[in-house]
């Protein structure tokens, strides 16, 4: 039974004022606060009192239904208990169909009225609870949707991995670029490796429960390489145990590219500035002779000093002009060369180092090699770099007794190929994917991370390609293919300021 | 007898310049164009002071300095770094002075005089 604490308003609608007063009296005793009215005033009274409950006494079925419809239309939340003539069961059902909360026969038993009112209140309260529940559910649903949306639309790759390093959740971006990957292993999907990566940040997060950060090169299912900044964070269960780790990877390829550009510009300026400093010093030397010659009236010294000054000024002029004309692509100094002579020159550069470390150096020149068009300075630097890497790899490799580095030069009508093969330790796929990146080195402090980056760059500049085939434990083969004829690439409009065009 | 200065630099124009100013200041000179050859010259000429370039094609200055400092007889020869690399004073910390090219002639002679008179 409901305890009505604050008196509950209730509207009593009857055409019989005497009956209304009796009902009001009874309800008042129960703790209700009744307001009486007749049919004509019913709607107005309900709209003023705004009760949750109303009692409607019926004397005329049609009129009563009219009143109830009006109230139900304007205030559908009001529960109406209808009092129908004794034993008129049909009329009671009619009113129930119209939406009455309950019907009672007249004369009303106090007990029945009380039960009917109680039930109406219970119904109302359940309704309220249901509304609150619905509201909460709606909020939950929308926040869930928001989370999902954030998870999916955030411009990063997000994956959640379990202790087996299997992906249990991934966002849209991840699935888009790496395929449907649930249940697969992170290193297989991201890096096409067969074993977990060394210094895996996910592993670290599982171990110490902290956030870890690394930079990785990953390959999309479309074969595109991306440089990503990876952050990992542990996801803790109810008892604080780490069951899963979230990995968030942001594509920073563009930043890296920009950095490459700035770095190469920096390297260029650095190399130039060292040279310029030397030239300025030598210029001082020339001036010193010139001044001393004038002081001592020694014309020979004057002439020698002037000669030195002239030489240095011309060198400085060239350097300064080079600096001014420096643009994205260094202009190639293309020459037509005999392939065999060029190949010999490259081999001669590296052979002594190999021999010194007891590594067999094998040259193979196939067929009629003819001539080709290249910038010999940059291409030989690139090939020497790859050959030296092969020699270094063999020096480091202690798993084999005998080491061989093979240098094959081969040519057909359109292209010349240089193959550099070693039986050193080989590279895993991750190293293969990273090796052309700027400042990536597998040699630790011994490497600068510049060599292969530059080699790759100059070969592409020549319209050529580098292919790499490597097996861990067996060795590595680089194949550098260069077109026989140099085709000047169409200038790229990259926004680089070109003083040659604006100075005129 | 005039005190002898060993000039180590791969640029012949700079070697000539240093020879000019050292000889004019009353010193004898000898030279090496690379770190790799320099040790032999040290042993033969026994210089009183060495000027050392850092960046040379075959062997860099710091490596030569390490070799030098391992020889009991020569490790106390004062070394002055003269290099085109900015921030070179960190390359060889025990050098008595470091000059960045182009250098101040008077300043260089002053440091030499302070060290070997």
> Is pLDDT above 50 for B20?
yes
**Beta carbons of A278 and B11 less than 8 Å apart:** yes
Could you tell me the fold of the domain covering A8-130?
Answer: Rossmann fold (3.40.50)
- Nearest alpha carbon to residue B65 among B33, B32, B92: B92
* Domain map (residue ranges) of chain B: 4-116
CA nearest A305 in B: which residue? B17
Report d(CA A455, CA A444) in Å as an integer. 19
Tens-digit pLDDT profile for residues B35-83: 888 999 999 999 999 999 887 777 778 889 888 989 999 989 999 999 8
Tokens 């490596």, residue located: B63
Domain A256-325: CATH class, spelled out: mainly alpha
Residue A327: pLDDT band with limits 50, 70, 90: very low
Rounded mean pLDDT of A219-234?
88
Q: Kindly tell me if the per-residue pLDDT of A334 is higher than 80.
A: yes
Distance CA A285, CA B14 (A): 7
| pLDDT at residue A137, as a whole number | 94
Q: Which of A44-53, A132-141, A351-360 has the lowest mean pLDDT?
A: A351-360
Q: Cis link prior to A109 (omega < 30° from 0)?
A: no
Q: Among residues A202, A14, A2, which one has the least CA distance to residue A108?
A: A14
Q: How confident is the model at residue A491 (pLDDT cuts 50, 70, 90)?
A: very low
The whole-chain average pLDDT of chain B stands at 89
The dihedral of CA A387, A392, A393, A394: what is its sign? positive
B-chain CB neighbours of A353 within 8 Å are: none
Chain A nearest CA to B73, separation (Å): 31
Question: Under CATH, domain A154-251 is a member of which superfamily?
Answer: PAS domain (3.30.450.20)
Question: What tokens were used for A389?
Answer: 């890497």
β-sheet bridge partners, residue A364: A408
Tens of pLDDT, residue by residue over A191-225, are 778 888 888 899 999 999 999 998 888 888 888 88
Cβ contact (<8 Å) for B14 and A283? no
Contacts of A292 in chain B (CB under 8 A): 20, 24
CATH numeric code, B4-116:
3.40.50.2300
Within 8 A of B101 by CB-CB distance, chain A residues are 277-278, 280-281
pLDDT at A277: 84
Q: Specify the range with the lowest mean pLDDT, choosing from A69-83, A233-247, A429-443, B84-98.
A: A429-443
Choice between A256 and A242, residue whose per-residue pLDDT is larger:
A242
Is it the case that residue A265 has pLDDT exceeding 80? Answer: no
What integer best gives the mean pLDDT of chain A?
A: 84
Quote the pLDDT of residue A302.
94
Torsion of CA A275, A280, A281, A287, to 10 degrees: 150
Angle at A422 (CA atoms; ends A416, A425), nearest 5 degrees: 140
Q: Enumerate residues 6+ apart whose C-beta is below 8 A from A424.
A: A390, A393, A394, A396, A397, A403, A475, A476
Please tell me which residue, B88 or A302, carries the higher pLDDT value: A302
Residue in A274, A285, A289 closest to B14 by CB: A285
Q: Provide the terminal-to-terminal Cα distance of chain A, rounded to the nearest Å.
A: 100
The rounded distance, in Å, linking the Cα atoms of B38 and A382 is 30
Q: Residues A443-479: pLDDT tens digits?
A: 543 444 556 777 888 888 888 999 999 998 889 999 9
pLDDT of A57:
93
Q: Identify the band that residue A116 occupies on the pLDDT scale cut at 50, 70 and 90.
A: very high
Q: Do B105 and A283 touch (CB under 8 A)?
A: no
Q: Number of Cβ pairs closer than 8 Å across A and B? A: 50
Interface of B with A (CB under 8 A): 11, 13-14, 16-18, 20-21, 24, 55, 84-86, 100-103, 105
In this structure, which CATH number among 1.20.1440.230, 3.40.50.720, 3.40.47.10, 3.30.565.10 belongs to the domain A335-483?
Answer: 3.30.565.10
Contact A275 B101 (CB under 8 A): no
The number of residues in chain B equals 117
Helix, strand or coil for residue A402?
coil
Closest residue in B to A276 (Cα) is: B84
Q: What residue ranges do the domains of chain A occupy?
A: 8-130, 154-251, 256-325, 335-483
Q: What interface predicted TM-score (ipTM) does this complex get?
A: 0.85
pLDDT at B10: 87
* pLDDT, position A451: 67
Q: Which residue of A has its CA nearest to B14?
A: A282
What per-residue confidence (pLDDT) applies to A96? 93
């Amino acid at each position: 039974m409901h305890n009505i604490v604050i008196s509950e308003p209730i509207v009593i609608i009857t055409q019989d004022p005497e009956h209304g007063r009796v009902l009001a009296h009874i309800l008042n005793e129960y703790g209700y606060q009744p307001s009486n009215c007749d049919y004509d005033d019913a709607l107005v009274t309900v709209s003023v009192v705004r009760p949750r409950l109303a009692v409607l006494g019926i004397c005329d079925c049609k009129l009563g239904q009219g009143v109830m419809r009006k109230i139900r239309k304007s205030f559908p939340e009001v529960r109406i208990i209808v009092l129908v003539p004794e034993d008129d069961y049909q009329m009671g059902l009619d009113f129930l169909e119209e939406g009455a909360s309950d019907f009672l026969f007249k004369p009303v038993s106090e007990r029945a009225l009380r039960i009917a009112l109680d039930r109406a209140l219970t119904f109302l309260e359940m309704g309220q609870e249901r509304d609150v529940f619905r509201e909460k559910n709606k909020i939950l649903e929308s926040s869930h949707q928001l989370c999902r949306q954030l998870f999916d639309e955030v411009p990063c790759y997000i994956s959640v991995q379990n202790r087996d390093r299997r992906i249990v959740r991934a966002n849209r971006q991840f699935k888009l670029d790496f395929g449907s990957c649930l249940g697969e292993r992170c290193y297989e999907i991201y890096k096409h490796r067969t074993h977990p990566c060394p210094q895996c940040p996910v592993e670290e997060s599982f171990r110490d429960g902290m956030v870890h950060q690394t930079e990785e090169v990953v390959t999309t299912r479309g074969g595109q390489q991306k440089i990503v900044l990876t952050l990992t964070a542990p996801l803790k269960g109810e008892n604080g145990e780490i069951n899963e780790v979230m990995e968030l990877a942001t594509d920073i390829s563009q930043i890296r590219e920009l950095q490459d550009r700035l770095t190469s510009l920096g390297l260029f300026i650095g190399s130039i500035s060292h040279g310029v400093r030397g030239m300025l010093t030598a210029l001082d030397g020339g001036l010193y002779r010139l001044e001393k010659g004038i002081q001592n009236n020694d014309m020979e010294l004057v002439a020698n000093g002037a000669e030195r000054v002239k030489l240095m000024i011309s060198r400085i002029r060239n350097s300064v002009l080079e600096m001014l004309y420096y643009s994205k692509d260094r202009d190639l100094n293309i020459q037509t060369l005999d392939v065999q002579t060029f190949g010999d020159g490259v081999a001669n550069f590296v052979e002594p180092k190999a021999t010194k470390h007891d590594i067999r150096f094998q040259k193979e020149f196939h067929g009629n090699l003819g001539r080709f068009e290249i910038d010999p300075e940059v291409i030989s630097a690139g090939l020497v770099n790859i050959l030296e890497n092969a020699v270094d790899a063999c020096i480091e490799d202690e798993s084999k007794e005998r080491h061989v580095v093979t240098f094959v030069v081969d040519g057909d009508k359109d292209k010349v190929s240089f193959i550099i093969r070693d039986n050193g330790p080989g590279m895993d796929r991750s190293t293969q994917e990273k090796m052309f990146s700027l400042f990536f080195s597998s040699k630790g402090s011994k490497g600068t991370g510049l060599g292969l980056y530059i080699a790759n760059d100059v070969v592409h500049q020549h319209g050529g390609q580098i292919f790499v085939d490597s097996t861990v434990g067996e060795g590595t083969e680089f194949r550098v293919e260069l077109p026989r004829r140099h085709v000047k690439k169409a200038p790229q409009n990259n926004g680089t300021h070109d003083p040659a065009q604006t100075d005129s | 007898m005039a005190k002898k200065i060993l000039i180590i630099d791969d640029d012949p124009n700079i070697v000539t310049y240093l020879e000019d100013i050292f000889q004019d200041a009353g010193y004898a000179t000898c030279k090496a164009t690379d770190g790799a050859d320099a040790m032999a010259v040290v042993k033969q000429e026994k210089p009183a002071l060495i000027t050392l370039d850092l960046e040379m094609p075959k062997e860099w200055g710091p490596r030569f300095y390490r070799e030098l400092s391992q020889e009991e007889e020569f490790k106390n020869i004062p070394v002055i770094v003269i290099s085109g690399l900015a921030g070179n004073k960190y390359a060889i910390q025990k050098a008595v002075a470091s000059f960045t090219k182009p250098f101040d002639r008077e300043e260089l002679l002053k440091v030499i005089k302070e060290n070997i008179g």
